[in-house]
Structure 1
């Protein structure tokens, strides 16, 4: 894996460096040519400037004047040597350390014959030089001699080398500056934003799922940060959906287990009811006959009466157990709630009177109807009222309310109430509340089972009216026809 910085250097900086080097080399080559031409041009200009005084002195036969002109030019410092030849190519005046030999004089004679100005590189006195030749002519245009001005080639090469070294040093400095700009620019424009994104990802990975990346910087990186945040939001939504599905699946599994338990309990209860029904009937009948004997004492009668109450309680337990595991597979029907409540309250009044509990009921509207199974709803309501009667001290109230398209049947008592920590457990089978010996522990479990069958709500809160508990059965109200 290559870093973005290395990719930037390899794909941007390096190609730019190669391209710049080629351009600099071509520029140097062109500049060196121009400089060389300029240096050569200087010698040419010097030679042409000397031509007139040298011609005048040469035509006048004043060789001293020719020598003085050459010496004056030699003192300029840019000239390595200056030489004058006559029409036959013989050297007549010299300025400088190098002295032309026979070969140079022969070449001079040839150039006199040509009669043209000429510049060329050659060797003079063991040194590489650049010479510029200017013909010297008389009034009639006849060539009378030749002027040669010489400059060392080494001087030209040294100046060219100085220019070359300076140019490459400047280019190296430019490359260093460019490299620093690339690194700093990468850091400011890209690197710090990428590091921030990486840090955000690391924080999410380390256990901060609610953290989100800061959306700033260049548009491309801001887009990446925004996409990362959207992805994290999507993952959160997916996780929430998975949690809901997991809870629903757990709830369904729990419901299936409960149904399996209820099925097993139903089979067991049917067998128990069948096996205990006949013995309990015999015990109850024999107990009644024994109570009819006139010679029984008070203690024996109390014991027989207690036996009959326990037999009745056992029968009640079996009856409620059968109600708890019962399920009605018939189609649901429209149930008139008012009539159902009046029947339920009529069945519970004797028990209320026997316990000294005042049972109060609000007006029951006849037009309220719900969808369900009437027998099962009656069992649920009877058990709700019985539970309240068993927990109450002196009063139980039944209230019917309409609430957001639903009908609420509330049963309140003035008992000690249900502690907040017990409000879920009281619907478990065989969990009792109130005074010891009251109830079988199946009444509220039956109510919860019926509520689940009807997809109804079942709530327990504190009663504001009586000070005890308030149990609410929330049923969907059936819409009126027409």
Structure 2
């Protein structure tokens, strides 16, 4: 059942019913009071003239009787006064209503000696008439006095007034109920429906929707409390989502580390098995190259064999380093020094590709605790890839320090990396370069080194138009130094 119906049934209806009962009781009390007053007035008038009439009957003086009856008409709304004998025969009388009582009624009053009264109707007129026995000085009943009083307007219409009062009360109650219903709908039901609408939208997934703070003070407080609860829930959801993402990232790192460990075991076995044959091949090629009977073309082919053997050795060594657990020996280094060292190693490549290098490092930055050679290797690998991706283009190196970590970003304006392969770029042997131009182990080494330092590395779309790599490393201990120092 709806709240407004409950209020109407439990509060409004009982209240109106109580008021109706009290109104009817009040009207009935008014009617009884009017009738009682009418009866008392008629009885007082009857007693007032009864003494004179008893004296006139006792002394048989018609003049006194006539004068007493005439005096009765001086009272308000007395319309008839009659004197009857013991048998109900009229002795003398004036006015209206002589036929209100039968002779038998009058005779019964004379025999009982007690005064009586009744409401009677005659010729569409309503009267209150009283009969009082007239006694002599010795107590003998000599006659009966009848006094008739015409009912007043309020006396005649008390029933009609009751009906009108009930009708007015009904109309007023309906109007009040309508006003209460309208006020309830406007100031209670509508604000509640707005709050309910907010909850339904939030339940359907619109977690950013909030209640408008308006209306009566209680609803404003309720809206503020609801918004606060939703904000708190949103913060909790964000915290849970952040923790879930961290768990996913940790799980990915664990799978990656497990994969690299398995790959390291495989690489160690492969290196052990192919190490001796590679040594034999390299030695025989070197011996043949020293022969004086070899032509230049044959010398070039032998040199090509030795170069490919050396490349195989390097790849095997990278595989072994990729899967091996490393104990990172760290030292305090300045990020600017690490970037400068990496650029010096690639100075020749920068000149060959005619690439513009933009360096954006903070003037005053804390030192980071890392293995300098490994971080230089990371920066070198990423810069090397950027230079190859954008010959004659633009490469930017940027560092930011916040929340006890350093973020190093390396971006280029090359063709970028497709979204569907971004999650594979750090996998071993994955490469977008042509066959023979890349082993697919460079970014895997970057991931392994950063992971060994307790950091993360990710790929994103750069503002320059190409690819960007974001390296995040924790600041385990730091001391603020100046770039110029």
Distance 1:190 1:438, change over 3 A: same
1:225-240 counterparts in 2 under 5 A?
Answer: 225-240=223-238
Aligned length: 455
Matched, 1:17 2:13: no
How much does 1:178 deviate?
2.9
1:179-208 CA deviation, whole Å, 9 max, x = no partner? Answer: 223322322332222233333333334443
The equivalent of 2:331 in structure 1 is 334
In structure 2, the partner of 1:97 is 99
Partner of 2:417: 421
Cα distance in 2, alignment partners of residues 221 and 56 from structure 1: 85
Q: Deviations over 1:396-448 (max 9, x none)?
A: 99999896788899999xxx964333695654433446787444221232123
Q: Secondary structure at the match of 1:420?
A: coil
The one-character-per-residue Cα deviations of 1:3-57 (angstroms, maximum 9, x if unpaired) are 1111111111122123213312321231111110233245346647867997898
Contact 1:67 1:93 (C-alpha < 8 Å) held by counterparts: no
Q: 1:435 to 1:207 in 2, by over 3 A?
A: closer
Change (3 A) 1:45 1:374: same
| Distance 1:335-1:459 versus aligned 2 partners, 3 A rule | same
* Residue aligned with 2:292, SS: coil
Aligned mates of 1:409, 1:161 — CA distance in 2: 99
2:109 maps to which of 107, 111, 127 = 107
- How far apart, in 2, do the equivalents of 1:346 and 1:162 lie? 111
1:324-403 mapped onto 2 (5 Å cutoff):
324-329=322-327, 332-334=329-331, 370-373=368-371, 376-377=374-375, 379-380=377-378, 383=381
CA distance in 2, matches of 1:102, 1:396: 135
Structure 1 segment 132-171 matched on structure 2, within 5 A: 133=132, 147-150=145-148, 159-171=157-169
Change (3 A) 1:314 1:130: same
Worse overlay, 252-261 or 276-285 = 252-261
Superposition deviation, residue 167 in structure 1:
3.2
Quote the Cα distance in structure 2 between the aligned partners of 1:469 and 1:7: 66
- TM-score, structure 1 length as denominator? 0.72
SS at match of 2:92: strand
Q: How far did 1:313 drift?
A: 0.9
Are the counterparts in 2 of residues 83 and 91 from structure 1 also a CA contact under 8 Å? Answer: yes
Question: Does residue 1:298 correspond to 2:300, yes or no?
Answer: no
Could you tell me how far apart the structure 2 residues matched to 1:346 and 1:192 are? 68
Residue 365 of structure 1 is matched in structure 2 by none
Aligned equivalents of 1:133, 1:316: Cα separation in 2: 145
Cα drift, residue 162 of structure 1: 2.8
Maintained 8 Å contact 2:132/2:144:
yes
CA distance in 1, matches of 2:129, 2:117: 6
- Looking at structure 2, the residues matched to 418 and 308 of structure 1 have their Cα atoms a distance apart, in angstroms, of 34
Structure-2 residue corresponding to 1:66: 66
8 Å CA contact retained: 1:121, 1:130: yes
**1-side partners of 2:104 and 2:463: how far apart?**
140
Give the TM-score normalised by the residue count of structure 2.
0.71
Distance in 1 between the 2:409 and 2:103 partners? 139
**2:417 aligns to what SS in structure 1?**
helix
CA distance in structure 2 between the aligned counterparts of 1:409 and 1:163, rounded to whole angstroms: 95
Would the alpha carbon gap of residues 39 and 358 (structure 1) be closer, same or farther in structure 2, given more than 3 Å must change?
closer
CA distance in structure 1 between the aligned counterparts of 2:127 and 2:246, rounded to whole angstroms: 101
In the alignment, which residue of structure 2 is the partner of 1:199?
Answer: 197
| C-alpha contact (below 8 Å) 1:462/1:468 kept by paired residues | yes
Q: Which residue of 1 aligns with 2:185?
A: 187
Residue 131 of structure 1 aligns to a residue whose secondary structure is strand
Q: Determine if contact 1:63/1:93 at 8 Å carries over to the other structure.
A: no
- Pairwise CA RMSD: 5.4
Cα distance, 1:395 vs structure 2 = 13
User: What does 1:204-353 correspond to in 2, within 5 Å?
Assistant: 204-329=202-327, 332-334=329-331
Provide the rounded CA distance (Å) in 2 between the counterparts of 1:439 and 1:67: 148
Residue 146 of structure 2 aligns to a residue in which SS?
strand
Equivalent residues in 2 for 1:111-122, closer than 5 Å: 111=113, 118=115, 120-121=117-118
Q: Note if contact 2:109-2:132 (Cα within 8 Å) is conserved in structure 1.
A: no
Alpha-carbon deviations, 1:358-405, whole Å to 9, x = none?
Answer: 999x9xxxxx97534466456546646765787797999999989678
Change (3 A) 1:459 1:477: farther
1:454 and 2:477 matched: no
Task: Rate the CA distance shift 1:156–1:246 in 2: closer, same or farther, 3 A.
Answer: closer
The answer on whether the counterparts of 1:215 and 1:225 sit within 8 Å (CA) in structure 2 is yes
Query: Do structure 1's residue 40 and structure 2's residue 42 form an aligned pair?
Result: no
CA contact (8 A) 2:120 2:128 kept: yes
The farther-off stretch of 202-211 and 262-271 is 202-211
Q: Secondary structure at the match of 2:247?
A: helix
- Cα distance in 1, alignment partners of residues 154 and 111 from structure 2: 27
Q: Please list the CA deviations of residues 93-150 of structure 1 after superposition, one character each: whole Å capped at 9, or x if unmatched.
A: 1452246525624633764xx8xxx55349999x996415386999xxx998653213
CA distance in 2, matches of 1:400, 1:233: 35
